[in-house]
Chains A and B, each alone.
Chain A
Amino acid sequence: MTALISNPPAAPVQGCSERTVLRERGQREVFCGLTGIIWLHRKIQDAFFLIVGSRTCAHLMQSAAGVMIFAEPRFGTAIIEERDLAGLADANEELDRVVERLLERRPDIKLLFLVGSCPSEVIKLDLSRAAERLAQAHAPDVRVLNYSGSGIETTFTEGEDACLAALVPDLPQAEADATPSLLVVGALADVVEDQFARLFAQLGIDDVAFLPARKADAMPAVGPDTRFLLAQPFLTQTAQALARRGATHIPAPFPLGAEGTTAWLKAAADLFGIDAQRFETATAAPAARARKALARYREELAGKRVFFFPDSQLEVPLARFLNGELDMAPIEVGTPYLNKKIVGDDLAALPEDALVSEGQDVDRQLDRCHAARPDITVCGLGLANPLEVEGLTTKWSIELVFTPIQGYEQAGDLAELFARPLVRRTRLEV
């Protein structure tokens, strides 16, 4: 808790070389990694996510995914009960039984993820062995992998990181033909993925694949000739797993806004030796469209002060976008985890006076937020309404993860997400 922090918020820790980062360790008000399943189970159309957890885990999924209750989801929770806690052998048998029934009911499932939770981790239920056992039992129809989305190990988007990292060792080996191929890593909305695929084709980068693929049997091959771009900033483990397969990371800012997208594409284009003329031809029109869309919102948003509570690790790239492309002023940029290797370019572009904080002590952070009275506060669902009551305008951070925001064509939509709460306040007369 806060007592463990040797530095009061007023005196941030001096980072190794550049910017000072306030590191906090106290109450965190962030979802656990299980939440990633809410978008991953829609992204991979023939995968099922079986959480091995408690009623709390099931309730979290239901509460966070409340709006999606209409369609039968491709996730569920095997709820550990008292009698499972009595002996581990039982728990494994029970799990086999649950999986058996599930696969009978859902013959369309080709890829099953056993997802660990806090309770399964604490009782040391070995899900990797269970996955091996079940994979053998259900081969070749169903592949079975495992990862942990537990709250003691993963924060919100780290769940997707753990999922993709679990996929990597299972990816086919790319043939060693010495021509580099491009892999775009991180779940994107299908529409965004299609746009990027078209852009890369226009750039002349033909061999492009996306991880995760939409189907279990269409997962991309990877090997020493693979060059990968991260489409999401929270993929630390996945990047390491890909490196272990011999793939090379292409460092880049994240594709948010016109400039972010251009820089991201450029990083790949340079590596693939695409000449400047061709790059210009492919990107000029959509980049101009994006800039035009942003110009409208810049009038509304310029000079507005923004405060980020930590949530998805998208905070640093988002702050870069809001500051660099909309002239907004980030006061505090909170992130659950700061990986400078991955968000380094975005971090470097942040204004000096923006406080970057890593980790959380929610009550202290609320104190800072109250003191700063930002024009817009980006925060989780538990905090938003109470802050609105105090007269602070908020943007739910989870929407930034559930909405297509990357790429040129979404630049305006992304800006609009921040403009709308502010506009709404000015409209209401009561």
Chain B
Amino acid sequence: MQLTVWTYEGPPHVGAMRVATGMQDMHYVLHAPQGDTYADLLFTMIERRKERPPVTYTTFQARDLGADTAELFQTAAREAYERFAPQAMIVGASCTAELIQDDPGGLARALDLPVPTIPLELPSYSKKENWGAAETFYQIVRHLAGANAPEPDHEPPARDAQARWTCNLLGPTALGFRHRDDIIEVTRLLAEIGVDVNVVAPMGATPADIARLGEADFNVVLYPEIAHVTATWLKRTFRQPMTTVVPIGVGATREFIAEVGEITGIDVAPLLDDERSRLPWYSRSIDSTYLTGKRVFIFGDATHALATARAAEEEMGFKVVGLGTYSREFARDVRAAAKQYGVEALITDDYLDVEEAIMAVQPELVLGTQMERHIAKRLGIGCAVISAPVHVQDYPARYAPQMGFEGANVLFDTWVHPLVMGLEEHLLGMFRDDFEFNDEQGPSHHGHLAARAAIETPAANSNETGVVVAEPVVAADAATNEPGWTEDAEEELKKIPFFVRGKARRNTEKFAVEQGLATITLETLYDAKAHFGR
């Protein structure tokens, strides 16, 4: 048993819902109790979808158990077919139905419905949402596209050299982070290269579309968490090459273009030479100097965390001080990347671990999910959202892709926004005593008072993790051998802007311990500053 307050991922059947809801003319019959219908609101309220998810829940009750839950399922499936007339159905169990072992797949087969009915086995007690989405997508593709698969030893005919190249975009689902806009951006980019999109799936695809996935020349894997398994199967079955670079950030987008060039033999040099994104120039513009070495903590799904870390270091000039993911399936990739940035990867789905890690490194910026946004808000640290799970405000009305050159523009704007601007930062440092520059003041362009007090007083739940900035003025504590601060040193510390104060305090204390000093004076403070530099 694992104690959980907030989770990064829902159960695997929610992943299946994301696939079904993204598709057209697909219906999902889910053997589940009534409370599980909450999942509808994720789509209608958080993503603001205009239709109910295409999901029929059997909503069995205690009195049905042992009696007629199987019949209930069959009735629900039959009626769902009659009412919604889908091209295909997926059927499965939620966590509770898994325990009563009604075998939705077998029950649906017995109904002999005139459309493909695809059974899903999603183990709720060991797997999670993204795995569920990946498995569901794979099963749908295997059933529907698999019917058109060539014989294993069949030699495909040589492609018509005149025909335009085509690919499938794989991975976008309902409730994805910016999937809606990434599809548009990547489709445009491919069109410029000279590649047409055959099918986007699951988002927007009908079962009939899925059946013709094999017609494309290759596959673009937009979100490996969801599409990697399917793309690998398609590669094996239809000999379709697949892309491996996710085009988030300028560098990755260029690599993605080069990869498509390699697969297709199209000359992509002109496109690579053409500076499409404003990010490279904006980053070089001298006003961005203040971004240099900004300490950033990154957490999200593996795809977005990895891409974010790369863009943060290589394209913004930040320093990655923490990198982690809740996608255990991709832990190895994230560990490798973290090593490259000289940090230890945080692989966890416990948000308290993440909170602890953030407090330990005291970053100046957090790039994470809605969970990290709340943590950062509590700690008074700037934050931008880079990955699911996200809340309603992260489904913006405007076009805001993460991928491609426009996506890179969005990254630049979004990540810079929470930071205090360069000159403003200097003024804050120079005139700490200005009453309007108090610590409750957030970046001026935010127009409201960001709650800075939190960093000074540890949140109720963070006592044991010890927020260093929160300690009151103390004399040397003989018992613990921790150096104490003199009053004027403490006063001086307060003149340092809040967003680096925690680090300054920690460094100074570390320095004092190293030097064997019992008391931190003004002198010690500046000695430490000289020692650590910045």
A interface, CB within 8 angstroms of B: 1-4, 26-35, 50, 52, 54-60, 62-64, 66, 69-70, 72-73, 75-82, 84-85, 91, 94-95, 97-98, 101-102, 105, 118-119, 121-123, 150-153, 155, 363, 380-386, 389
Contact = CB atoms under 8 A, between A and B. Distances in A.
Contacts of B374: 69-70
A77 B4 contact: yes
A114 to B, nearest CB: 12
B124 A95 contact: no
B99 A63 contact: no
Interface stretch (B42-50, B165-173, B231-239, B241-249): B42-50
Contacts of A97: 1
B36 A29 contact: no
Interface string B28-48: 000001111111111011101
B3 A59 contact: no
A78 B59 CA distance: 23
19 contacts: A27-B58, A54-B11, A55-B4, A55-B7, A55-B124, A63-B42, A72-B459, A72-B461, A79-B4, A80-B125, A91-B1, A105-B464, A150-B35, A152-B60, A380-B41, A381-B45, A382-B44, A385-B50, A389-B50
B534 interface: no
A121 B83 CA distance: 33
Given A3-B75, A55-B9, A76-B3, 16 more contacts: A32-B36, A55-B11, A56-B13, A56-B36, A63-B41, A66-B46, A72-B5, A81-B2, A119-B95, A119-B96, A151-B35, A151-B96, A381-B40, A382-B37, A384-B44, A385-B48
B254 to A, nearest CB: 38
Contacts of B123: 82
B62 interface: yes
Interface in B425-482: 459-461, 464
B297 interface: no
Interface string B85-119: 00000000011100110000000000000000000
A153 B62 contact: yes
B65 A152 contact: yes
Interface of B: 1-7, 9-11, 13-14, 33-42, 44-46, 48-52, 56-62, 65, 72, 75-76, 79, 83, 94-96, 99-100, 123-126, 128, 370-371, 374, 377-378, 391, 459-461, 464
Nearest to A99: B3
Q: Name A's interface SS.
A: helix
Contacts of A55: 4, 7, 9-11, 95, 124, 128
Ordered nearest first, which 5 A-B pairs have the shortest CB separation?
A: A32-B35, A382-B40, A151-B35, A151-B33, A1-B75
Contacts of B46: 63, 66
B491 to A, nearest CB: 32
Contact of B39 (A63, A82, A119, A380): A63
A153 B61 contact: yes
B59 A28 contact: yes
A354 to B, nearest CB: 25
Contact of A386 (B50, B72, B83, B460): B50
Contacts of B14: 56, 59
A78 B33 contact: no
A27 B76 contact: yes
A77 B378 CA distance: 23
Contacts of B378: 70
Contact of A79 (B2, B56, B62): B2
A85 B125 CA distance: 9
Contact of A84 (B1, B100, B464): B1
Nearest to A380: B41
A122 B100 contact: yes
Given A27-B59, A34-B35, A63-B42, A78 B1 contact: yes
A59 to B, nearest CB: 4
A1 B461 CA distance: 46
B44 A118 contact: no
Contact of A60 (B36, B49, B51): B36
B10 A56 contact: yes
A73 B7 contact: no
A44 B435 CA distance: 40
A76 to B, nearest CB: 5
Contact of A122 (B4, B6, B42, B99): B99
A84 B126 CA distance: 11
A31 B38 contact: yes
Contacts of A105: 461, 464
B126 A56 contact: no
B80 to A, nearest CB: 9
Nearest to A72: B461
A123 B99 contact: yes
A63 B38 contact: yes
A59 B460 contact: no
Contacts of A382: 37-38, 40-41, 44-45, 52
B235 to A, nearest CB: 31
A56 B95 contact: yes
A28 B52 contact: no
Nearest to B12: A55
Contacts of A84: 1, 125
A206 B126 CA distance: 55
Nearest to B355: A72
A250 to B, nearest CB: 31
B3 A101 contact: yes
A121 B65 CA distance: 11
A94 B1 contact: yes
A419 to B, nearest CB: 22
Nearest to A51: B4
Contacts of B75: 1-4
A384 B51 CA distance: 10
B99 A81 contact: no
A1 B371 CA distance: 39
